């Protein structure tokens, strides 16, 4: 596919990295900053145009007239929308716009088609939705959904003295009667897609695939808390906090937001009448203690400064056993953060890029099947892909045990008209099924890619 990425900030650069790795696309980046363009061209196998996306000549130089998708992720909502409109008029390609302002979100659906928008992505809303999902299942570090919400891949940390400690995957299946599949394990800096002889250890980060009911049943059997939190303290009253509070309040979770800017505190009081808004500096330990950090079931650090969020979560960890969530903006920290054992970390820029990559892959349909859903798992070292199986697919009608699968790959789940099947060797995949594949290899676009 021919893809144009307009705006080379953190999200644009992450998109260029992820899409160029797939070797499936001709990518052109557009930005006013010539130096940034040159760095990206030198780093990845892509092309670049330095110029203003407001000028039609710049978009034409980037190839908009025969492009398949244009992705506008500049720092300006208005510029992104204008660029998408120009792209529709100039070439008719599909467009994706990053739009952050809540007021636009309320009205964009009215003229989404007129602007030619195939997708609107709001990083703050998307991050808030991820956080809300995690607070629904506080023992999970990450939850990704497939099969229209019927299947989840849930990641959790194996605690000390766990019933699963020193058990192989095969032994675990015999000891704990639950319809789940261990699809990944992260141990230190290494990620594994385990076989039956893989032995689990306390401290491992384990990912399982299961239906929602089976996942909850398994969690109870191994002593993991499955009930949603009753309350949360949020430090930082930005847009993510607003979207998160709205979602949590709607499900009956009590929300307290600590925001140091008086004007923003007043605004949040108007926007969120059911939340408790505290005008104070949440980075002060005294304030957190006064507001009951020791008794809170969850704590979310959402200031605009990564270092503050990290220190806040470390302090909260020393005072409460509640669920901790830390927002990190700078992707460069992603190799250091896991060593701090901060519970769950959220990277809005990564989440935004991942959602856009999912859309691009879904549009890049192929003859045998196509990708319906994609999530990055195992700390970015693996992907979970949901494929739709078509009549002429090479894996249809063949028992799984007879498929010549590539290494570091697992067929984790079959969705057959809403019935969730955790597959065994003799199970057969049929046309019309959707299949979840977990792989440590990047760039799969067709179900046939899983075969040697």
Please name which of 41, 44, 39 lies closest in space to residue 17, comparing C-alpha atoms: 44
Q: What's residue 332's pLDDT? A: 61
For residue 368, the model assigns a pLDDT of 41
Contact 124, 348 (CB under 8 A): yes
Q: Which of the 8 DSSP states describes residue 149?
A: G
pTM higher than the cut 0.85:
no
Residues shown for the chain: 452
Tell me the residue ranges of DSSP E strands in 160-283: 181-187, 190-192, 205-211, 231-235, 254-259, 276-279
Domain 2-121 matches domain 128-221 at the CATH topology level: no
- The per-residue pLDDT for 333 is 61
Provide the pLDDT for residue 367.
Answer: 37
For the chain, give every domain's residue range: 2-121, 128-221, 231-321, 366-450
Query: Which CATH code fits 128-221?
Result: 3.30.70.1450
pLDDT confidence of residue 429: 93
Is residue 380 a contact partner of residue 351, using CB atoms and an 8 Å limit? no
pLDDT value of residue 331: 58
Give the sheet arrangement for strand 419-421, strand by strand. 369-377, 382-389, 434-439, 409-416, 419-421
Let me know: does 118 contact 333? Beta carbons within 8 Å.
Answer: no
Q: What pLDDT score was predicted for residue 381?
A: 84
Query: Which fold would CATH assign to domain 231-321?
Result: Rossmann fold (3.40.50)
Q: Which CATH number fits domain 2-121: 3.40.50.720, 3.40.190.10, 3.40.50.970, 3.40.1160.10?
A: 3.40.50.720
Taking the C-alpha atoms of residue 150 and residue 158, their distance in angstroms, rounded to an integer, is 24
The vertex-133 CA angle with 129 and 137, nearest 5°, equals 165
Within 8 A by CB and 6+ apart from 310, the residues are 301, 326, 328, 337, 340, 342
Low-confidence ranges of the chain (pLDDT < 50): 366-369
Q: What pLDDT score was predicted for residue 117?
A: 85
- Asked whether 125 and 98 are in contact (CB, 8 A), the reply is no
Can you count the helices (H) and strands (E) in the chain? 13, 22
**Class of the 366-450 domain?**
alpha beta
């Amino acid at each position: 596919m021919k893809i144009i990425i307009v705006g080379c900030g953190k999200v644009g650069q992450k998109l260029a990295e992820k899409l160029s790795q797939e070797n499936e696309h001709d990518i052109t980046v557009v930005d006013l900053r010539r130096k940034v363009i040159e760095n990206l061209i030198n780093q990845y196998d892509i092309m670049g145009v330095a110029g203003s996306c407001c000028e039609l000549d710049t978009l034409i130089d980037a190839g908009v007239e025969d492009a398949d998708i244009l992705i506008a992720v500049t720092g300006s909502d208005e510029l992104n929308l204008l660029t998408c409109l120009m792209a529709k008029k100039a070439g008719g390609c599909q467009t994706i716009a990053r739009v952050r302002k809540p007021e636009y979100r309320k009205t964009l659906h009215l003229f989404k088609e007129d602007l030619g928008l195939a997708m609107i992505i709001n990083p703050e809303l998307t991050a808030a939705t991820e956080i809300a999902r995690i607070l629904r299942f506080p023992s999970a570090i990450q939850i990704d959904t497939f099969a229209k919400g019927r299947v989840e891949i849930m990641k959790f940390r194996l605690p000390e003295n766990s019933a699963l400690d020193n058990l192989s995957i095969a032994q675990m299946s015999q000891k704990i009667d639950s319809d789940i599949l261990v699809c990944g394990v992260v141990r230190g800096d290494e990620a594994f897609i385990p076989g039956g002889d893989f032995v689990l250890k306390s401290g491992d980060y384990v990912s399982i695939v299961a239906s929602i009911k089976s996942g909850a049943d398994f969690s109870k059997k191994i002593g993991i808390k499955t009930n949603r939190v009753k309350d949360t303290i949020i430090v930082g009253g930005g847009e993510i906090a607003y979207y998160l509070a709205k979602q949590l309040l709607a499900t009956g979770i009590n929300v307290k937001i600590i925001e140091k800017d008086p004007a923003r505190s007043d605004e949040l009081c108007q926007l969120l009448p059911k939340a408790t808004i505290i005008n104070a500096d949440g980075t002060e330990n005294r304030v957190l203690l006064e507001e009951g950090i020791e008794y809170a079931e969850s704590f979310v650090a959402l200031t605009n400064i990564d270092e503050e969020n990290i220190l806040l979560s470390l302090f909260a960890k020393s005072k409460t056993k509640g669920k901790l969530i830390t927002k990190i903006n700078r992707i460069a920290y992603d190799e250091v953060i896991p060593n701090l054992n901060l519970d769950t970390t959220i990277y809005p820029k990564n989440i935004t890029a991942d959602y856009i990559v999912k859309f691009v892959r879904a549009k890049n349909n192929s003859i045998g099947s196509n990708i319906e859903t994609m999530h990055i798992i195992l700390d970015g070292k693996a992907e979970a892909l949901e494929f739709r199986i078509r009549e002429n697919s090479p894996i249809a009608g063949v028992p799984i045990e007879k498929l010549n699968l590539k290494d570091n790959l697992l067929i984790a789940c079959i969705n057959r008209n809403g019935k969730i099947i955790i597959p065994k060797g003799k199970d057969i995949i049929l046309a019309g099924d959707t299949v979840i594949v977990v792989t440590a290899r990047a760039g799969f676009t067709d179900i046939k890619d899983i075969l040697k």
